[in-house]
Structure 1
């Protein structure tokens, strides 16, 4: 988390690094399956006359993405026979996950929902499981492939690829289905997974030897402490090493401050997530057309998000993580006040463009910086497990609170709702400032010790 001394030119040049560029293609591979088991899937089912009640059950497929931390320890510790020896710990798991997604999408392309609806659901769950697993291991690869100072750029490029994939799997799949067939749409998406597979085959595996050697003594000590000295069962020893040690290591390394970090992770995006579910209803209720929402809210918003993401990555390289982290928290909370102002104006397209640009640029900056921050917290012995936990924790409070957003809007109106959501962002700003201040104090103490020595 040290402050950087790079020029802006050097900071932006980071996007030309091969490992950073590779994250764009990994982002495509990760983003492609998401809509194919969510909104695109629901459109397919409805087009085939499946009832809305049945379609509603597809939401349960998404639970897979929220519980991926459960099997992350397996990805962190289990070797795939032969493949891990040939490709390495991360690349082997990425490849298996990608192949699983591609095969699942291919299988779905061969089915008629009217005749084989349970099979469509079953392969949808397979795609979601393999996609969530791919997310876990790509996050681990991203963190281990480069130093912390480049994590913002890695995250920005990953988000770019992910967003492009959402356009392909959303609008692109619908376009193919309209002019060809749903079978052709899902077949095309299965083929496009080849982009990620090719990337996995071309990139280099991160070096795990140094980290593994440093943490072997830690794991061995905790195995003896939990299970007692002497011989242990393979399953119980694996559980301590792969499941317990990632959490023990995080709390031992950070002490009581670990609670502050987990609290900060949980609240940083509350303001952003809590308002998201009301955005489209807000635009429609204000009088904007669907075309306005599509052109300004989606397409223009996409461009602004990408600008913000790349700016966020450059800020991390230029200034370190913590100062841009404060900036992101302030921007995300403040942009909700622009929504509150828009609520008083009516369907003003100029102001809609201003609000959308501010909201998406701030979201892009904050997401890139926050991903870099989370990446800096993990121990690379347990990258997949710890990051999966962090990424799950960062969305749960916001999703829970967003469930009450409709109640607030119905009772108080949109203007009051957005002001309340902005206020929800204040604790994240204060905690970000505290974390920066604490880190600066530690760095000053170290510099004084070095000078005295």
Structure 2
């Protein structure tokens, strides 16, 4: 049965952190946090040491776009049972375990590819598989969290999850860097074996999440009446997903040459290569989505896929959200979801390369940025969870967004000063405290928007939208830095936070939310 907490004293709020479901979220958060930096910053440093140019390195951040499109396969995770595993563990735990095993396999695949000698396409494939598997794990853990506790405990569950997530990031960020450095790899002396063993160690640490999944219990809320139990529906849903994704990929594949030509022409027209690339890629994204939609329509019109199944899977969760808030309010809420993390994510893609360009060594980056910085994020998440309980989500959401934008300006000072450890500590402290506070409030906010009848799908849509635009822009951060320089780039990321503040103020003034 779901647990709850009476809001009263600070002591009662702190004691709630000791409840078993909250502790379980700590370890599940660690499992979710391990893969992220193995796609982003740790992989970025590995590729740089292997001699890959900066712009190409930041393109690899697109391997994590699986996080931004996870709403596409969230219905499969939400509705389809896994052979043997679901009978043994239940719907949520079976999918968590399956995704964790896929993450371990993906990390091991990356470990056995040397980017200095092997084709980068192989590394990209392994990174995409890791992003896909990790995003799947996130879908189920988010659903498990929301279904395991009432709304009054969601802020603390979110804080515990963030704490575990950040610990996982310390392990895969600082841990991987320190291991690779200890085993003999550096920017001046690249060692493939050092990075290989570092990644294999990260794969082994994922066993903590596997053990947690086996020990926790399945949520007891009886909300799964909409699961598909008919084999024909299983086949139809898998067919729909497979062919729609095939149509999406086909558009990208066949438009590659045309896209390159358009980028060259627009670069000449605008005298701005990053802008040209962004415009072309957004256009390709729209075409790819249209291609997937066309495939879906053809499958329905041919009778191969039931319209009722599509409605039940994709349309009803979206319809429920718009019916609860109304179209105008719902679009504003979605705009806030899509823009809230834009400042942090766009900056974060290139942050490790920035530190390295300033002359900071891997041990310095590991100790200050990855370890100390993420500890500050844990503190920020803890404070954010308590503040949400005391003052409500919206107020802390605004404060978190304001601090996140302002702290990006500190990176401009660091770029001017250069290699300076005290300044690095100051910047990382401010940036990570604000990020932790903002994340705790934002996760609680997203949870409050989710109808428990459509947990996995609706939350997957929100969290996908949250990262889609920032990650697409983040893939061009290397090109933007080459064009504008670091100082102007950091100013641009700070200004990206201004529309977020306007949206939160408007929503707080005109919309009454139960948060």
When the two structures are superposed, what TM-score results if normalisation uses the length of structure 1? 0.78
Aligned to 2:36: 34
For residues 55-74 of structure 1, give each alpha carbon's deviation from its aligned partner in whole angstroms, at most 9, with x where no partner exists.
86865543333322211111
**Residues 1:155 and 2:158 aligned together:** yes
**After alignment, is 247-256 or 276-285 more displaced?**
276-285
Q: 1:300 to 1:35 in 2, by over 3 A?
A: closer
Q: Which moved more, 1:92-101 or 1:362-371?
A: 92-101
What SS is found at the alignment partner of 1:71? helix
Superposed displacement of residue 90, structure 1: 1.0
The answer to whether the aligner puts 1:189 opposite 2:202 as a matched pair is yes
Partner of 1:18: 20
**Aligned match of 1:391:** 463
Are residue 246 (structure 1) and residue 259 (structure 2) matched?
no
Displacement of 1:173 after TM fit?
4.0
Q: Which residue of 2 aligns with 1:101?
A: 103
Alignment partners' CA distance in 2, 1:45 and 1:209: 47
For the residues of structure 2 that align with 1:43 and 1:423, how far apart are their CA atoms? Answer: 27
Q: 2:106, 2:127 within 8 Å by CA — same for their partners in 1? A: yes
C-alpha change, 1:348 and 1:261, in structure 2 (3 Å) is same
Further displaced range: 125-134 or 183-192: 183-192
Report the Cα distance in structure 1 between the residues aligned to 2:462 and 2:416, rounded to whole angstroms.
37
Partner of 1:449: none
Structure 1: distance between partners of 2:476 and 2:352: 16
Distance in 1 separating the partners of 2:105 and 2:354: 39
Structure 2 residue aligned with 1:270, among 319, 339, 342? 342
- CA–CA distance in structure 1, aligned partners of residues 200 and 425 of structure 2: 36
User: How many pairs are equivalent?
Assistant: 421
CA displacement 1:273-307 (0-9 Å, x = unmatched) = 3443564566567x664465554433332221111
Provide, for residues 394-431 of structure 1, a one-character-per-residue CA deviation record: whole Å limited to 9, x for no partner: 12333455567678767776666545543432322232
Further displaced range: 346-355 or 160-169: 346-355
**8 Å contact 1:83–1:92 — kept in the other structure?**
yes
2:74 corresponds in structure 1 to 72
8 Å Cα contact 2:223/2:452 also seen in 1? no
Summarize the alignment of residues 53-72 of structure 1 with structure 2, pairs less than 5 Å apart: 61-72=63-74
Deviation at 1:171, TM superposition (A): 4.1
Q: Map 1:311-350 onto structure 2 (within 5 A).
A: 311-340=383-412, 349-350=421-422
CA separation in 1, counterparts of 2:165 and 2:67?
15
Change in Cα spacing, 1:64 to 1:248, as seen in structure 2 (3 Å) is same
Q: CA offset at residue 246 of structure 1?
A: 1.1
Q: Which residue in the other structure is 2:245 paired with? A: none
- 2: distance between equivalents of 1:71 and 1:303? 33
2:174–2:365 contact (8 Å) kept in structure 1: no
Q: What is the CA deviation profile of residues 307-334 of structure 1, one whole-angstrom value per residue up to 9, with x for unaligned ones? A: 1011111112222212211221222223
User: Could you tell me whether the CA contact under 8 Å between 2:175 and 2:366 is conserved in 1?
Assistant: no
- 2:279 corresponds to which residue? none
Change (3 A) 1:81 1:429: same
Per-residue deviation, 1:365: 0.2
In the alignment, structure 1 residue 427 sits paired with structure 2 residue 468? no
Cα offsets for 1:102-126 (capped at 9, x unmatched) = 3444566677886898776655544
Q: Is the 8 A contact 1:149 1:316 kept in 2?
A: no
Indicate the larger mover: 85-94 or 357-366: 85-94
Give the whole-Å Cα distance in 2 for the aligned partners of 1:422 and 1:184: 37
Q: Return the alpha-carbon distance in structure 2 between the equivalents of residues 417 and 240 of structure 1.
A: 43
Residue aligning to 1:374: 446
Q: Identify unmatched segments of 5+ residues in structure 2.
A: 1-5, 185-192, 227-302
**What is the root-mean-square deviation of aligned Cα atoms in Å?**
3.9
Corresponding residue of 1:199: 212
TM-superposed CA distance for 1:43, in Å, is 6.5
Q: In the alignment, what sits opposite 1:229?
A: none
Write the deviation string for residues 226-272 of structure 1: whole angstroms up to 9, x where unpaired. xxxxxx98743221101111111111111121011011112222233
CA distance in 2, matches of 1:337, 1:188: 36
Whole-angstrom distance in 1 between the partners of 2:386 and 2:397: 13
Q: Relative to structure 1, is the Cα distance of residues 8 and 439 closer, same or farther in structure 2, using a 3 angstrom cutoff? A: farther
Question: Distance between the aligned counterparts of 2:91 and 2:309, measured in 1?
Answer: 17
Is the contact made by 2:7 and 2:13 (CA closer than 8 Å) also made in structure 1? no
1:202-242 Cα offsets, whole Å, 9 max, x none, are 212223425748xxxxxxxxxxxxxxxxxx98743221101
* Match of residue 90 from structure 1: 92
Between 372-381 and 174-183, report the one with greater CA deviation: 174-183
**1:303 partnered with 2:306:** no
SS in 1 for 2:452: coil
Following superposition, the deviation at residue 186 of structure 1 comes to 4.4
Corresponding residue for 2:144? 141
CA distance, structure 2, for counterparts of residue 193 and residue 248 of structure 1: 37
| Residues 117, 298 of structure 1: alpha-carbon distance in 2 compared, 3 angstrom cutoff | closer
Q: Distance in 1 between matches of 2:35 and 2:482?
A: 35
Q: Aligned pair in 2 of structure 1 residues 175, 346: CA closer, same or farther (>3 Å)? A: closer
Distance 2:354 2:123 in 1: 34
Residue 209 of structure 1: aligned partner: 222
Match of 1:129 in 2: 132
| Aligned partner of residue 204 in structure 1, secondary structure | coil
**1:193 CA drift (Å):** 2.2
Alpha-carbon distance between aligned partners in 1 of 2:506 and 2:449, rounded to the nearest angstrom: 16
* 1:365 corresponds to: 437
Where do 5+ consecutive residues of structure 1 fail to align?
Answer: 214-231, 444-453
